[in-house]
Amino acid sequence: MDDNAKTARRRPWVRTLGTLVAGGVIGVMFWGAFNWTVELTNTETFCISCHEMRDNVYEEYTETVHYYNRSGVRAVCSDCHVPKEWFYKIRRKIQATNELYHKILGSINTREKFDAKRLQLSGHVWETMKKTDSRECRNCHDDDSMDFGVQEPRSADRHEEGFDDNKTCIDCHRGVAHKLAEGANEAYEAIAKRIEAENAN
């Protein structure tokens, strides 16, 4: 067998290997770019790049303990509103495309429009948090790590009662980072009762 025939027989393997390597490199580059984009959209800078967030809920948040506190630990928007686990994070990002649609429509582009929809918008967040047992809160506030001995006595008592009653963070801490709309507590109780009824069936 001459050298040309041997080379011809080896070429399909070389081509296959080259295709696999090129596909792998392109796949890694795509995956890196995708993850970079997802993480970019998790930054506070990105979240407040639209005035609807910057001029409304962000201003409120800067007056809370999640923004400024004695420990120097700051929770940014994504810490509370975007899950850490990959599957849930991507699902939340897909849901966020609805927010882009409303940005285009101008649904909450003024303070008056935002306040008119505040209770509805809050309800969506509360419902998610109730259904997920306040998953995002627990990224930082793990009840197993709480030291009731160093909490204020009233807080320690409330936390212990809440855990005994199988409550979740959002059951008590609805206004911890943003202003509550009028009728917020009644609206939340209705959401909680509906979810409990669904879980009972």
Q: What is the pLDDT of residues 48-89, one digit of tens each?
A: 999 999 999 999 999 999 999 888 989 999 999 999 999 999
In order of their start, the domains of the chain are: 41-200 (1.10.3820)
The whole-number average pLDDT for the span 134-144 is: 88
pTM over 0.85? The answer is no
The whole-number average pLDDT for the span 115-122 is: 95
Q: What is the pLDDT of residues 25-45, one digit of tens each?
A: 898 999 999 999 999 999 999
Max Cα separation, the chain?
90
Higher pLDDT, 82 or 3: 82
| Measured distance CA(169)–CA(137) in Å, rounded | 7
The whole-number average pLDDT for the span 120-126 is: 95
Q: What is the pLDDT of residues 150-165, one digit of tens each?
A: 989 999 999 999 989 9
Neighbour count for residue 170 (Cβ, 10 Å): 23
